[in-house]
Structure 1
Amino acid sequence: MRLLILGLCLALASLSQAEPLRVDELTPLDERFMDTAVAELNDLAQIRLGRSLSNEHTRNRDQDLDIIQTLLDRKLVDGDDTKLLQAMGIVLGRHLQKENSLKWVIYVDNVGRSRALEVPFKEDFIFPVTQISSRAAVGANVDVQAIYEKLEQEIADIRKKIIVR
């Protein structure tokens, strides 16, 4: 019995030693990676579709979602092309950021380091970067508009939460 209790205490102690969540600012390297990935996606759209993604001055969400959906529907991006698929998620995230006053951050936990959008004054984050890539990687049909609307609803739900500290 003592051995069982000792084992349980050791297991609980190791759990309490796990690295806690950490949120860091986006680094210039992260920003450059995101910009480069979106530029490559835009190059593909220009070459294969004759269309361009909007930029920071000409944001057009519906146009961008349509371009992304067309690239996916025509199978112009392979399910294993993680960089371009995540660039699609970055485009979604940039529109969500602008429309909902969110902030890009680096979310670090025991699983790894992820680019995420922080909802101001809340303890929750959304992860648009992997929304498309995780579906495309397993060959699932991707409905870009539905993903965008789901993320918008998640943001609205997060904003309704009351945080007690």
Structure 2
Amino acid sequence: MFCRVETGENPMRFLALALLLILAPVSIADPWRTDPITPLDEKYMEDSRNELNDLSRIELGRSFGESRDNDLRLIQTLLDRKLVNGEQTRLLQAMGIILGDYLQKEHQLKWVIYTDRLGRSRALEVPFKDEAIFPVTQISSRAAVGGDIDVQAIYQRLEEEIKRAKKKIIVR
């Protein structure tokens, strides 16, 4: 790109523009970061879990929290019976939060806020690795497009991703 400076223009303006053009790729090279989860995010996640649990108690007479396998089956039942539809994003993401809670406990992960040029997301950080897992949107993204949802398969795939990421750490 060429820039012509007229004799009457401010040379500092040209220098500032040149610096912006030179430094722009640097900001693109580091497109994401993770931050600790905030109390507001924790509250949102807890409220979402409670809302989904209330729905399950009312509609199915069952609550979350018994065991991982029970909770995965309960999520599947809510979806199969169409008690939660593709437009109920908060409830669908609550299902992903529940998946994430089990992944967090079983694999010693940490909830974080993942921020990139598209925005911020709640994610699970794989320790000692520049990788994050996004369980919150796994169900909601499929439901939004009317896709088939196999909760057990989603959970297993996320577990495989975590194991692959952890294995990379050891190999280094």
TM-score over 0.5 (shorter chain): yes
Q: Distance in 1 between matches of 2:68 and 2:41?
A: 23
Q: Which has the larger radius of gyration?
A: 2
From 98, 103, 107, the counterpart of 1:96:
103
From 40, 60, 71, the counterpart of 1:49:
60
**Aligned-pair Cα RMSD in Å:** 2.3
Q: What is the CA-CA distance between 1:12 and the residue it aligns to? A: 7.2
Q: Is the 8 A contact 2:123 2:136 kept in 1?
A: yes
Q: What is the CA-CA distance between 1:40 and the residue it aligns to? A: 0.2
Q: Distance in 2 between matches of 1:84 and 1:71?
A: 10
Identical-pair percentage: 63
Q: Distance in 1 between matches of 2:64 and 2:159?
A: 20
The equivalent of 2:145 in structure 1 is 138
- Structure 1 outlier segments of 4+, above 6 Å: none
Calculate the TM-score normalised by the size of structure 2. 0.84
Structure 1 145/164 Cα, relative in aligned 2: closer, same or farther at 3 Å? Answer: closer
Calculate the TM-score normalised by the size of structure 1. 0.87
Q: Is the 8 A contact 2:128 2:169 kept in 1?
A: no
From 63, 69, 72, the counterpart of 1:65:
72
Q: What is the CA-CA distance between 1:160 and the residue it aligns to? A: 1.1
**What is the aligned residue count?**
156
Secondary structure of the equivalent of 1:161?
helix
The amino acid across from 2:24 in the alignment is S
Q: What is the CA-CA distance between 1:137 and the residue it aligns to? A: 0.3
Structure 1 13/35 Cα, relative in aligned 2: closer, same or farther at 3 Å? Answer: same
